[in-house]
Amino acid sequence: MNFEKILEENQQWIEEHLRLDPNYFDDLAKGQSPDILYIGCSDSRVTAEEMMGARPGEVFVHRNIANVIANSDLNVMSVVNYAVQYLKVQHIVVCGHYYCGGVKAAMESTDMGIINLWLRNIQDVYRLHKDELNAIADEETRYKRLVELNVQEQCVNLLKTIDVQQAFRERGLIIHGWVFDVKTGRLIDLKIDFAKILKGLSDIYTYEL
Ligand code: CO
């Protein structure tokens, strides 16, 4: 990759925006009020804004390996808190993707050093759904299903947080579980039944508000 070229591209990008709207960057500098929090994988093929056709200012983004929303991860929990309580987003998208290297490594129990700790979150998802997953004979189908179930369980982790529970009750915050198919470019809505999941979450997770 040519880094000088990147800076030239940036200059062109600035000029293109200013040609269409001379106040473009002045307006951006005034602040942000995105409607969506997007949590996805760091994978270089899964570009959050580009695949959604979103413009700067529209989406608050957090990405990590295999879009994990770990309960004890201060980083993702701070992002969720800030987006929900301060930016008041109305939608949270959790987006996994087929052919996710993180999910693959978790499935194969590959020793990845320090990443083992992170991937264990996905191995927990496998354990929770092992009857369904082990019943799938075809390895690729099983791999794809684990990607989907990982999205579902990370959405459940969101529902465990007081911020999300509060916003869910007070303003009907909407959570979307999606998978991006790298092979076709398609975004697939998993149509997860969150009302059912919330009902099934034991009282242990539910905060008195
Ligand atoms: Co990935």
Q: Kindly state whether residues 26 and 63 are assigned to the same domain.
A: no
Which two three-digit tokens encode residue 125?
A: 């998802």
Is it the case that residue 121 has pLDDT exceeding 90? yes
As for how many domains the chain has, the answer is 2
Interval between CA 193 and ligand 1 midpoint (Å): 24
Whether 45 sits among the annotated catalytic residues: the reply is: yes
Whether 145 sits among the annotated catalytic residues: the reply is: no
| Residue 97: band (very low, low, confident or very high) from pLDDT cuts 50, 70, 90 | very high
Whether 138 sits among the annotated catalytic residues: the reply is: no
Q: Kindly state whether residues 23 and 69 are assigned to the same domain.
A: no
Q: What is the pLDDT of residue 196?
A: 82
Mean pLDDT of the chain: 95
DSSP for 97-122, please give it.
ETT-HHHHHHHTT---TTHHHHHHHH
Q: Kindly state whether residues 3 and 47 are assigned to the same domain.
A: no
Q: What is the pLDDT of residue 199?
A: 80
Whether 100 sits among the annotated catalytic residues: the reply is: yes
Q: Kindly state whether residues 24 and 49 are assigned to the same domain.
A: no
Residues in the chain: 209
Q: Kindly state whether residues 116 and 77 are assigned to the same domain.
A: yes
Catalytic residue among 62, 95, 97, 155: 97
Mean pLDDT of 150-166: 95
Residues 14-31 pLDDT 10s = 999 999 999 999 999 999
Q: Kindly state whether residues 3 and 49 are assigned to the same domain.
A: no
DSSP for 3-21, please give it.
HHHHHHHHHHHHHHHHHH-
Print burial letters for 132-161: b (CB count within 10 Å at least 16), e (below 16): ebeeeeeeeebbbbbbbbbbbbbbbbbbeb
Residue type at 52 in one-letter notation = M
Distance, in Å, from the CA atom of 138 to the CA atom of 159, rounded to the nearest integer, reads 31
Tell me which residue of 70, 110, 85, 48 sits closest to 168, measured CA to CA: 85
CATH classification of the domain holding 170: 3.40.1050.10
Whether 155 sits among the annotated catalytic residues: the reply is: no
Cβ(90)–Cβ(67) below 8 Å: no
Q: What is the pLDDT of residue 206?
A: 81
Q: Kindly state whether residues 4 and 66 are assigned to the same domain.
A: no
Q: Kindly state whether residues 105 and 22 are assigned to the same domain.
A: no
Distance, in Å, from the CA atom of 64 to the CA atom of 66, rounded to the nearest integer, reads 6
Q: Kindly state whether residues 99 and 153 are assigned to the same domain.
A: yes
Q: Kindly state whether residues 16 and 49 are assigned to the same domain.
A: no
Q: Kindly state whether residues 81 and 170 are assigned to the same domain.
A: yes
Interval between CA 26 and ligand 1 midpoint (Å): 35
Mean pLDDT of 86-104: 98
Interval between CA 173 and ligand 1 midpoint (Å): 26
Catalytic residue among 19, 21, 35, 45: 45
Q: Kindly state whether residues 47 and 125 are assigned to the same domain.
A: yes
What residues make up the domain containing 193? 32-205
Residues 177-202 pLDDT 10s = 999 999 999 999 999 988 788 788 76
- Helix H or strand E segment including 132: helix 130-134
Q: What is the pLDDT of residue 208?
A: 79
Interval between CA 100 and ligand 1 midpoint (Å): 4
Distance, in Å, from the CA atom of 61 to the CA atom of 67, rounded to the nearest integer, reads 11
Interval between CA 161 and ligand 1 midpoint (Å): 24
Interval between CA 12 and ligand 1 midpoint (Å): 31
